[in-house]
Amino acid sequence: MQRLNTCLYLILGFVAPCFCDTSFVGTNNTFFNVIDYGAKGDGKSDDTQAFVTAWQHACGTQGASTLVIPPKTVFLVRNLRLEGPCNATSILIQLQGEIVAPAKNEWINGLTIDEESNLILISKVNSLTVDGNGGLIDGYGSTWWACKRCTRPMILKFLSCNDLSVSNLMIINSPKAHIHVNFCDGAILSNINISAPGDSPNTDGIDISSSKNIIVEDSTFETGDDCIAITGNSSYINATRIACGPGHGISIGSLGRNNANDRVEEVHVRNCTFTNTKNGARIKTWIGGSGYARKIYFEQIILSQAKNPIIINQYYSDYVTNGGLEVSDVTYRGFQGTSLNDKAITLNCSSSGCFNIVLDQINIVSSEPGATAYCTIYNARGTATSTVPNCSLST
């Protein structure tokens, strides 16, 4: 009997550590909880370094790994950088708790804020999954918005992350843009909920730049600027089942600023709603730039008191010269609903013109009783069929 007990003690001595250590190596998935690396989760202590240390272990492990941000906790971080490349073949970030940004004065003390500043930067990490189910990121933007000329940080930036998946993520009140996808190839962002007041400056929902093969789907954006903005050198972008409003709509651009050579093509926006937005489906370019915006499709769009439901503006600047970035092969199909002002359709193209513009199955009326909605065309060529208000495009 004594020999049997001794054997049991020996066995338990080897097995027991497996039940208490969540960062052991040698399983199919290794878990790294930020609490185990010193994070307080009290909403007051700076937990940035604890997150970095936990990330370094998750990134450096072999096989699959999971970074756990546990529930019922509030983590204060600033200028958090989660960088690769990683040894892990895939990484899951489970955001179950809350991450909060510092107030404006706390950002400035000891930190330099520039155009590339972010609350969280994730860079050069492939096969990354971010699951925000149960979690929240609060940008504390209310401390910034009154200073419209201040250089403000963004909340979450993905830089050079391929095969990216982000789902069930809620972000509120960014000082500036909420999510930036930059130099990424292959990303699915689904069930994203972003909220900021309609008068908060430059609080874009998702900015996509220099990226391709990006899907944004089944998401809700309430912002003070573009719900989604697709900028230079991006292609094969799909936005589907997006509820936008308040905000400035879904925009291609702005493009060509500071004489830039910007190229955007194969953008598909489908089954979206614009409610009380400043714009709906928008393309905006600066005179003097070069490149193109082509093969753009806005289809099956529902409008409710949207200003400028359909708009191309090639004079997105304070000055006018000849030339400009080429806009062509743009289709607007299946629009229905109301415009808050009389400008239902505005195609304001530069002297070089917009080409192959298609308006089809459009029915936009004024939300004002007795008012008439109009179509305004400058230098646009294409076709208009079954379109209300009536539009006359040159062929």
180, 248, 262, 329: which one is catalytic? 248
Peptide bond into 309 cis (omega under 30): no
More confident residue, 171 or 320: 171
Q: How confident is the model at residue 155 (pLDDT cuts 50, 70, 90)?
A: very high
In the residue annotation, 180 being an active-site residue is answered as: no
CA dist., res. 65 & res. 23, Å (int): 9
User: For 81-98, what is each residue's pLDDT tens digit?
Assistant: 999 999 999 999 999 999
pLDDT at position 114:
72
Rounded mean pLDDT, 138-161: 94
Residue 41 binned pLDDT confidence (cut-offs 50, 70, 90) = very high
pLDDT in tens, 180-210: 999 999 999 999 999 999 999 999 999 999 9
- 204 assigned to active site: no
Confidence at residue 84, expressed as pLDDT on a 0 to 100 scale: 98
What tens digit of pLDDT does each residue of 61-85 get? 999 999 999 999 999 999 999 999 9
Question: What pLDDT was estimated at residue 111?
Answer: 58
Domain range list for the chain: 31-388
State the CATH architecture for 31-388: 3 Solenoid (2.160)
Predicted confidence (pLDDT) per residue in 99-114, tens digit: 999 999 888 655 567 7
Give the residues across from 33 on adjacent strands.
68
Measured in degrees and rounded to the nearest 5, phi and psi for residue 209 equal -140, 145
Catalytic entry in 225, 226, 262, 329:
225
Neighbouring CB atoms inside 10 A of 263's CB total 18
pLDDT of residue 107: 81
pLDDT of residue 323: 52
Let me know if 218 is exposed, middle or buried by CB neighbors in 10 A (0-12, 13-18, 19+). middle
Mean pLDDT, the chain, as a whole number?
Answer: 90
Q: State how far Cα 330 lies from the chain centre.
A: 23
- Residues 287-305, buried b or exposed e (16+ Cβ, 10 A)? bbbebbbbbbbbbbbbbeb
**What are 1-25's pLDDT values in tens digits?**
433 343 333 333 333 333 233 333 3
